[in-house]
Amino acid sequence: MVLFTEMVPLLDALADDLELAFPRLVEEHQGAVYVTALRCTGCRQAAEDIAQETFVRAYRSLAAWPAERIAALRPRAWLLRITLNAVRNRARDASRRPRTAELGDHHPEPAGGPEAAALGGERRELLAAALGRLPEEQRIPVVLRHVAGLRYDEIAEATERPVGTVKAQVHRGLRRLASLVDRTLLESET
Amino acid sequence: MTPGIAGELGGLREAPPRRLAMAVLAEVGVVDSWAPAESPLGPVAVAFNRHGVSWVGRADDPAAFEESFVAAMGRPLRRAPLPPRVGRALESGRATGLAFDLRLRGAFERSVLTATSGIPRGETRSYSWVAREIGHDRAVRAVGTALARNPIPLLIPCHRVVRGDGRIGNYGMGGPDAKRTLLRHEGLDPDEMERLAGAGVRLIGNRAAGVACLPSCHHARRIAPRNALPLRGADEAIALGMRPCRSCRPFAAAG
């Protein structure tokens, strides 16, 4: 998309000229931030709001930090920690208000990429809904690992849990997902 | 254990809408202003921020302008009044004192654009002149490429850079015809320039002063006809004991 003539490493560029480099940070990580918010909340509008909030907060933090702190950042894990906070805050606020939408609320799945095409619309809806039925402590690591593509050490940082715990939660989450999906299929067949 | 499910979750990936990035940048203020303006080539749009002018493009289609800006700069635009200094610079063809935001250009390109900014209205220089000015004598093609990528045409007057053989050359914002229009608007005669160069005249010497100029230099045009001497190039000028004009710097001084 944008050609940055001198491909200075992103962290150096952020420390040097935040305003100039910030669009790059957004470009590089908006995918992971958005899809995490989407698959954790099940709502596209919420995902957009949360993603915007994440980056605005990130900008304000970066603007206040000295260069050394910026240089020590692991941007993706850091941004997703902000995202997860926003997701949790939203869920907390929503629980204080009458629920108007179910998790996994139905907006028809739009066209995704090739993987999505390979999966098929119905199957995707099924999976997305099943994700919504996982307990939060499994849903979040599963989404981070298998939808957003984070490494385990990044997930550990984003969720503030040890790597061992994260791995166990992903493992349990996948098994629960598999059984939820099978049960749904069984139910729909009987 | 459940490889199927794990792999299938990848199918839940989805790109965020384009508006997300722009909304973020607008909210934190990483956004340029833009205003329409008039130019000898018709309506143009000028984008600017606190670092200076960042972009000039044709404005026949404001949506296309905005699209090309966003694609090139990665920042959104919002409408604002044209700063009077910018309007004056466009009208007068003199952009001295105007700041430019060239942060997204590399060092080489910035020096090409800065050197080009120094070419006075109504005068032209060659691509190799620019290369020599920035201390990269042989990077003539790279100079051409840098000028083709000039994000701020008209205000950074790449239309005043022409080929060494006298041919007018190409122009990003409208091709050779647009370039000729701009040069004519500044009082030059592109056809005459090409004719002169075609006849092998690269410099004009002043017999009385012992100084050689580029033909379009304002000093050259004030040489009394009896003193004006068409020259084939630097070698001939030097052989005749002439020094280069300090204003248009047509060649490196001998010795």
Q: Which residue has the higher pLDDT, A105 or B208?
A: B208
Check CB contact under 8 Å for A26 and B25: yes
Q: Which residue has the higher pLDDT, A109 or B121?
A: B121
Interval B249-253 mean pLDDT: 90
pLDDT in tens, B65-116: 888 899 888 899 999 999 999 999 999 999 988 999 999 899 999 999 999 9
Partner-chain residue, chosen from A31, A56, A128, that has the shortest CB–CB distance to B24: A56
Q: Which residues of B touch A20 (CB under 8 A)?
A: 103-104
pLDDT above 60: residue B219: yes
Partner-chain residue, chosen from B1, B11, B71, that has the shortest CB–CB distance to A119: B11
Which residues, 6 or more positions from A131, have their beta carbon under 8 angstroms from its beta carbon? A39, A42, A104, A139, A142, A143, A177, B12
Check CB contact under 8 Å for B2 and A27: no
**pLDDT for position B166:** 76
**Is B18 within 8 Å of chain A by CB?**
no
CB pairs under 8 A between A and B: 125
A131-138, long-range: CB within 8 Å, 24+ apart, which pairs? A131/A39, A131/A42, A131/A104, A131/A177, A131/B12, A132/A42, A132/A102, A132/A103, A132/A104, A133/A103, A133/A104, A133/A180, A134/A173, A134/A176, A134/A177, A134/A180, A136/A91, A137/A169, A138/A169, A138/A170, A138/A172, A138/A173, A138/A176
pLDDT above 50: residue A104: no
Partnered with residue B32 across adjacent β-strands are B77
Measure B13 CA to nearest chain A CA, in Å. Answer: 6
Check CB contact under 8 Å for A22 and B28: yes
User: What gap in Å lies between CA B65 and CA B47, rounded to an integer?
Assistant: 10
**pLDDT for position A91:** 85
Dihedral, A44, A45, A48, A51 alpha carbons, nearest 10: -90
**pLDDT for position A149:** 97
Amino acid present at A6: E
Q: If you average pLDDT over every residue of chain B, what do you get?
A: 93
pLDDT in tens, B123-145: 999 999 999 999 999 999 999 99
pLDDT in tens, B30-62: 999 999 999 999 999 999 999 999 999 998 888
Catalytically annotated residues of B: 158
Q: Which strands, in side-by-side order, build the sheet including B32-39?
A: B52-58, B42-49, B32-39, B77-79
Amino acid present at B57: G
% residues pLDDT > 90 (chain B): 84
Partnered with residue B56 across adjacent β-strands are B46
Interval A123-152 mean pLDDT: 95
User: What gap in Å lies between CA B165 and CA B162, rounded to an integer?
Assistant: 8
Check CB contact under 8 Å for B2 and A23: no
Q: If you average pLDDT over every residue of chain A, what do you get?
A: 87
pLDDT in tens, A5-44: 456 899 999 999 999 999 999 999 999 999 999 999 999 9
Interval B205-217 mean pLDDT: 96
pLDDT above 50: residue A68: yes
Residue of B nearest to A145 (CA): B6
pLDDT above 70: residue A100: no
**pLDDT for position A122:** 87
**pLDDT for position A102:** 47
pLDDT classification of A1: cutoffs 50, 70, 90: very low
**pLDDT for position B1:** 46
**Is B2 within 8 Å of chain A by CB?**
yes
Residues 56-75 of A with CB under 8 A from B: 56, 59-60
* SS3 assignment, position B200: coil
Residues 86-125 of A with CB under 8 A from B: 110, 112-113, 115-116, 118-119, 123-124
Interval A145-152 mean pLDDT: 97
In which region does residue B47 sit, left (phi positive, over 0), alpha (psi from -120 to 50) or beta (all else)? beta
Which site among B1, B22, B28, B109 would you substitute to test the A interface, given the most A Cβ atoms closer than 10 Å to its Cβ? B28
CA nearest to A104, candidates A43, A48, A146: A43
pLDDT classification of A3: cutoffs 50, 70, 90: very low
Check CB contact under 8 Å for A55 and B24: yes
For chain A, give the longest Cα–Cα distance: 62
**pLDDT for position A112:** 58
CA distances from A52 to A32, A37, B15, B64 (A): 13, 11, 14, 26
ipTM: 0.86
User: What gap in Å lies between CA A164 and CA A154, rounded to an integer?
Assistant: 13
CA nearest to B17, candidates A171, A49, A120: A49
User: What gap in Å lies between CA B46 and CA B52, rounded to an integer?
Assistant: 11
